[in-house]
Amino acid sequence: MRVLILSATTGGGHMAAANALKEYIMQKSPDSTVQIADTLEYVSPLLNKAVTGGYVYLVRNQPKMYGSIYKNSDKNDTTVNKTMDITTSTLRNKLRPLIEDFRPDIIVTTHAFAAEILSALKSHVGLNIPIISIVTDFALHQAYIAEGVDAFIVSSREMVAEAVERGIDRVKLYPYGIPVKQEFYKPIDRKTAFESEGLDESIPTLLIMAGSFGVTDVLRIYHKIVKSPEDFQIIVITGKNEKLYNTFDSYLRKITINNTMVEFKQMMKASKPKPLKPVKPLKPGKPAKPVRSTASRNIKPSKPTKLLYYTNEVEKYMHMADFIITKPGGLTVSESIAANLPMVIFKAIPGQEEQNADFLVGKNMAVRLKKDTTCTETITELVGNKQKLADMRKAIQTFSKGNSAANIYLLMKDLVEKYSQNN
């Protein structure tokens, strides 16, 4: 089977889903040929730079404006959608050489623009190839609705119902979820994992996926979390955010030095001999007061923390953790669901992330970390409430659609066979 996967680099989730699907296809069918292409870059490097750069700037610096654009574009007959239609009509023929040269049996998209441009090709050029569109979030957007698509992969039954209301034929909708690497579904040897990482398996473990946070956000969250009276350890993964890693590393070193100095000063103060005071005779029948050590009084050691830069073993750390603090991007959420990991959602960007967060909280798979002032209380309550975490894991298991890539692969084979029979 020859498979062309069209994606884009606006956010890491689209390409990650494409790679996860490719990996599964090659595992199940080594004789297959699978190619992943960045659609925007292929049809127009200038457009790709503008769209990708604009997306990054808006979500980092003007999230409310991005949310407004996202909301406005989720409607029919808007300026944004008209512009998209003109763009796809102009650029559709630029994608034809890739399709004609590769000669795919089926095309899979993990980005709305790719689905739009393929739909335009199908209706104007007579493209006779099955198309699957994977929606990489937990809420449907108007941009994904393209007439020429044969099958839509969505994340939930609620999305199926919404898609039908928007006019998509029910037979085209499959609630299989977003494909992730197979390792997220597989349990690990926890004892070996904790020993190799120098962590304690017997205490709760909190994972922070911090790569998409701002430096200030991460330090503020961490500073609040370590004030919790509960006993737990923390794993922080910064991804390829070098500035965040270096700043956080310096912050942890500073905390370690400060704690050591506080402990040393307290110890020295406690061990310093004090002048003897005259001993007053005890009154008859009154017992002597017990002597209490002050060596560790008011000393709160910081939580054991493991800081990681980029890692190819995110699945291992997810399986080690009791819950994760993360932004609600479609990929990380899907990986967490595959690993059966409860989520604490922080600072969702208005738009798809906010919709993802609403869905997850509504399904009891996540809680929100709303304000800095409640951060300590939220984490303390969650760490100390084993039943709450157990209920969240149960909710995730109930929601999970199983192995998304496996289900999509079977659907691909079925569509290819149907097209071959009709031709």
Q: What is the DSSP string of 355-400?
A: HHHHHHHHTTSEEEE--HHHHHHHHHHHHH-HHHHHHHHHHHHHH-
| Cα separation, 175 vs 357, whole angstroms | 18
Q: Residue 55's CB: how many other CB atoms inside 10 A?
A: 15
| Cα separation, 161 vs 111, whole angstroms | 21
Confidence (pLDDT) at 46: 86
Q: Show Cβ contacts of residue 159 under 8 Å, excluding neighbours closer than 6 positions.
A: 135, 138, 139, 140, 173, 175
| Cα separation, 52 vs 68, whole angstroms | 18
| Cα separation, 319 vs 193, whole angstroms | 9
DSSP state of 63: H
H or E segment at 38? Answer: strand 33-38
What pLDDT digit, counting tens, does each position of 47-101 carry? 888 888 887 778 777 878 888 888 888 876 655 555 656 666 667 778 889 999 9
Strands (E), 265-384: 305-308, 323-326, 343-346, 366-369
Domains recognised in the chain with CATH numbers = 2-177+402-422 (3.40.50.2000), 183-272+295-399 (3.40.50.2000)
Buried b or exposed e, range 292-305, using 16+ CB within 10 angstroms = eeeeeeeeeebbeb
Q: Is 153 helix (H, G, I), strand (E, B) or coil?
A: strand
Q: For residue 73, give Cα distances in angstroms to 86, 117, 271, 347, 357.
A: 14, 17, 69, 22, 20
| Cα separation, 150 vs 133, whole angstroms | 8
DSSP state of 176: -
H or E segment at 108? Answer: strand 106-109
| Cα separation, 123 vs 214, whole angstroms | 43
Confidence (pLDDT) at 16: 92
Confidence (pLDDT) at 371: 62
DSSP state of 287: P
Q: Is 168 helix (H, G, I), strand (E, B) or coil?
A: coil
Q: Show Cβ contacts of residue 348 under 8 Å, excluding neighbours closer than 6 positions.
A: 327, 328, 354, 356, 357
Structure tokens at 84: 């998209």
Q: Show Cβ contacts of residue 6 under 8 Å, excluding neighbours closer than 6 positions.
A: 36, 37, 39, 107, 108, 109, 110, 111, 114, 118
Q: Show Cβ contacts of residue 295 under 8 Å, excluding neighbours closer than 6 positions.
A: 266, 267, 270, 271
Confidence (pLDDT) at 69: 84
pLDDT averaged per 10 residues, the chain (length 423): 92 88 96 95 85 79 83 70 61 86 96 88 83 93 88 94 93 95 94 94 93 76 88 92 88 70 46 51 48 33 83 94 93 94 90 92 92 79 93 94 92 94 78
| Cα separation, 179 vs 412, whole angstroms | 14
Distance of CA 272 to the CA centre of its chain: 52
